[in-house]
Amino acid sequence: MKGSSGKKYGVVSSVIGGVVEARFHEGLPPLNNLLVTGDNEGIRVEVSLHLDSETVRCNALTPTGGLSLGTPVRDTGQSLQAPVDRKILGRVFNVFGETIDRKDPLEDVQRRSIHRQSLNLTELATQSEIFTTGIKVIDILAPLERGGKAGLFGGAGVGKTVLITELIHNMVGEHEGVSIFCGIGERCREGEELYREMQEAGVLDNTVMVFGQMDEPPGCRFRVGLTALTMAEYFRDDRRQDVLLLIDNIFRFIQAGMELSGLLGLLPSRLGYQSTMASELSQLEERITNTPHAAITSIQAVYVPADDLTDPAAVHTFSHLSASIVLSRKRASQGLYPAVDPLESYSKMLTPTIVGDRHYRIAQEIRRTLASYEDLKDIIAMLGMEELSRDDRQTVLRARRLERFLTQPFFTTEQFTGMPGKTVSLEEALDGCERILNDEFSEAPEKSLYMIGGIDEARGKTRQKPSGDEADNRTDLSGNREAT
């Protein structure tokens, strides 16, 4: 039946957990339309399937507790809508675009459907560009693509959140852009801690946070990424600002789709994944692009199920990534922050045609030097430095100086470390690494290269060298001691 306003009304005909079926006698609501039902229309569902000429099957976006057969259902006449306005900066939202930060609700803001097409090929920028972060180890060894996707791999306690907040800080300062954090299947504790840390670091005012939490229905977790993307597209296309989109965790998006597919009664594919996984992931990822005016650059935390890189979820996710940033617990334990593993991290952008011959040559020489050091560590641990050849000894000393130069004090950790943050241009970072590789700092103590910005700061540290610094070069060169 239809109401006087022309909106469609139906009744609940089946409730199975997070799946609701509703019967409409005068026309079905379109796919992806938002329906409301329950007490005070507090239960919201999204049309997923048309079963016959009168029945729709919907996925629940809110818990369905208390819903019963025969309950009236109203078609809102539109899909999920996300707020798009400058007012959303500094706020926290759920999948419906409602604020959940206990502040005043937003009023008089424009809203757009979260179901949008990716840009046409003619609207995209045709030239690959580097997205500089101001962080030496990333810009040199795993440069990000402007408008591309990068995977962030790291367990608890290795500095993932600190790296995310520093990237947000540098995004605002260097690119005059905004950052959007999307938590897909986040634990409530993680979301609250991240909000507080961003507030303390002073980056919240230029950040939007969107959460679909772990305890919410799979339909909510499956759509929250599209809500964040719609906000990001507004800043890219309307405001012409660069956007840094951080997604944690992209695997939980696939996992939510798998749950939803099973609940809707669709035929599963390999290992229980939904047969539409590739197209669903592409619909999300292909909207993350760059235009001639601005770009959405994404960094996505990636969970690999059971460390199996052949898992379908991992294979399909990796096919979209242009860079991988791997955080190492071993480097974190040595005090080498940011704890990015220079040998495991990589980027498709690191080719001579994109970054230039000099950048490519320096990056490859750094990798060779650090890889040789790794191979020599066992010999050093068993026999000592004295048993190495002169060339190998020089390689080890060079590698240790490179490791320390690739550390960097962050703006977002100033209050904890007492060290002022540093942003380093790509040219400065390349110049410093080249001079170390050329043994220009072979006589300088290693400590003078630790936690600095540009290489010239090491000269000042060398002149002010404390009396105990002579011992710095006699540390355990197997790498078991902390960097400082």
Helix, strand, coil in percent for the chain, rounding step 5? 40, 20, 40
- The span from the first CA to the last CA of the chain, in angstroms, equals 74
Instruction: HSE, CB side, 13 Å, CA atoms: give it for residue 129.
Output: 19
Catalytic residue among 21, 145, 166, 186: 186
The two beta strands, 178-186 and 207-213, are parallel
Q: Which amino acid is at 427?
A: E
Q: Which amino acid is at 323?
A: A
**Three-class secondary structure of residue 262 per DSSP:** helix
Is there a contact between 58 and 21 (Cβ–Cβ < 8 Å)? yes
The two beta strands, 296-301 and 243-248, are parallel
Catalytic residue among 2, 7, 103, 187: 187
3-state DSSP of 344-404? CCEECCCCHHHHCHHHHHHHHHHHHHHHHHHHHHHHHHHHCHHHCCHHHHHHHHHHHHHHH
Is there a contact between 329 and 362 (Cβ–Cβ < 8 Å)? no
In 3D, which of 370, 388, 391, 371 has the Cα closest to residue 379? 388
Query: What is the Cα–Cα distance from 342 to 330, expressed in whole angstroms?
Result: 12
Active-site residue, 87 included: no
DSSP 301: E
Active-site residue, 186 included: yes
Strand partners, 295: 290
For tokens 């993932």, the residue is 160
Distance from chain centroid for Cα 203: 16
Catalytic residue among 57, 160, 223, 404: 160
Tokens matching residue 434? 């080249």
In 3D, which of 353, 337, 300 has the Cα closest to residue 322? 300
Q: Is the dihedral of CA 270, 274, 276, 279 positive or negative?
A: negative
Active-site residue, 160 included: yes
Q: Which amino acid is at 144?
A: L
Q: How many residues does the chain have?
A: 484
**What are the catalytic residues?**
160, 186-187
